[in-house]
């Protein structure tokens, strides 16, 4: 849980709140066409989710913020470049909007969407 002490008390930021920021940032990255559920059991119903908490995992370990994001990318883009852009965008957004330092952004490419086979 993100926590901060101020003179008036403390501020808690829930993983769900952070996940929403992550979700928005990921969709701003070119090449990302969807977020995917973290595991198969969750994903049987649908392969592309619109609930930010289902494609994003936010964890605090030893006071460090670790974000895992599960994405579907467009077929035909350079996966490594897109994944790097996602890392940059997510880290930048979370630090800008929430003010917490992000220790890790792990991008899991769960699948590719093929709009046009070459």
The pair phi, psi for residue 70, each rounded to 5°, is -110, 115
Nearer residue to another protein within complex by CB, 20 or 84: 84
| Cα–Cα distance for residue pair 105/84, rounded to 1 Å | 10
Nearer residue to another protein within complex by CB, 40 or 105: 105
Please report how close the Cβ of residue 41 comes to another protein at its closest, in angstroms. 25
Burial class for 40, CB neighbours closer than 10 Å (0-12, 13-18, 19+): exposed
DSSP structure string for 34-63: EE--SSHHHHTS-SSB--HHHHEEEEEETT
Q: Select from 6-14, 37-45, 55-63, 85-93 the region that touches another protein (CB under 8 A).
A: 85-93
Binding test (CB under 8 A) with another protein, winner from 76, 103, 111, 112 = 76
| Number of residues lying near another protein (CB under 8 A) | 25
Identify the three-state secondary structure at position 83.
Answer: helix
Which residues contact another protein (rule: CB under 8 A)?
A: 27-34, 74, 76-78, 81-82, 84-85, 88-89, 91-92, 95, 101, 115-116, 118
């Amino acid at each position: 849980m993100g926590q901060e002490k101020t003179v008036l008390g403390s501020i808690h930021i829930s993983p769900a709140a952070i996940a929403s920021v992550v979700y928005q940032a990921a969709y701003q990255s070119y090449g990302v066409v969807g977020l995917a559920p973290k595991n198969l059991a969750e994903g049987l119903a649908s392969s592309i989710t619109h609930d930010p908490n289902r494609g994003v995992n936010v964890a605090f370990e030893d006071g460090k913020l670790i974000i895992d994001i599960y994405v579907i990318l467009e077929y035909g883009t350079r996966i490594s470049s897109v994944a790097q852009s996602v890392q940059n965008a997510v880290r930048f957004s979370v630090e800008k909007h929430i003010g917490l330092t992000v220790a890790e952004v792990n991008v899991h490419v769960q699948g590719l969407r093929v709009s046009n086979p070459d």
